[in-house]
Structure 1
Amino acid sequence: MPVPSLDELSLLHERVCKAVGEPRRIQILYALDARPHNVSELAEALGLPQSTVSRHLTILRQSSLVVAQRSGSSITYSLADGGIIEVLDRMRRVLRDALSRQPSLVG
């Protein structure tokens, strides 16, 4: 695979890496992988205030990782592309493996 351009990497970092750089947003993505949710359901499932969940969903939507579907007065959120979960799973495996090779980095 060729070396990505600086423009591509900048866009990727600006849009996606910053969005998944916050653990609560990753939890939201995993919750949405199970099924679509509204803000109240996500807040209850994650034990977070609705305002916090709404703020995180805004960032995830702006990053095109999450889409919103309005039905009457309710908005349901779902993953824009389930492939993000595969990426997150792979990233977690790589990081766990790296940490297991360098125990001094853990706790």
Structure 2
Amino acid sequence: MEIAEATGLGQANLSKHLKVLTQAGILSRQPKGTSAYYEIADPMIFELCELACDRISERIQQQAESLKTLRSKTAVF
């Protein structure tokens, strides 16, 4: 699948992001003919993403619990 289709980004915007990620060493780029193929350059990126997503999930759950508690205390009968 092409990245543009998967992300819904325009070609120019996508190219800018891919260039930044490639220059940062996060992605590697393999040109083939008129196309270019990208892959994650460092497998540790997957672990980093998993840690970030887990932490965000925890924060969302904590906020949901706090909101639930707050609503139960301020409910008008």
TM-score under structure 2 length normalisation: 0.71
- Counterpart CA distance in 2 for 1:48 and 1:87 is 24
Counterpart residue identity of residue 26, structure 2: L
What's the C-alpha RMSD, in Å, of the aligned pairs?
A: 1.9
Aligned residues: 66
Q: 1:67 aligned to 17, 28, 47, which one?
A: 28
Greater C-alpha Rg = 2
CA deviation after TM superposition for structure 1 residue 67, in Å: 0.5
CA deviation after TM superposition for structure 1 residue 99, in Å: 3.0
Structure of greater relative contact order (alpha carbons < 8 Å, 6+ residues apart): 1
Unaligned runs of 5+ in 2: 68-77
CA deviation after TM superposition for structure 1 residue 82, in Å: 2.4
Unaligned runs of 5+ in 1: 1-36
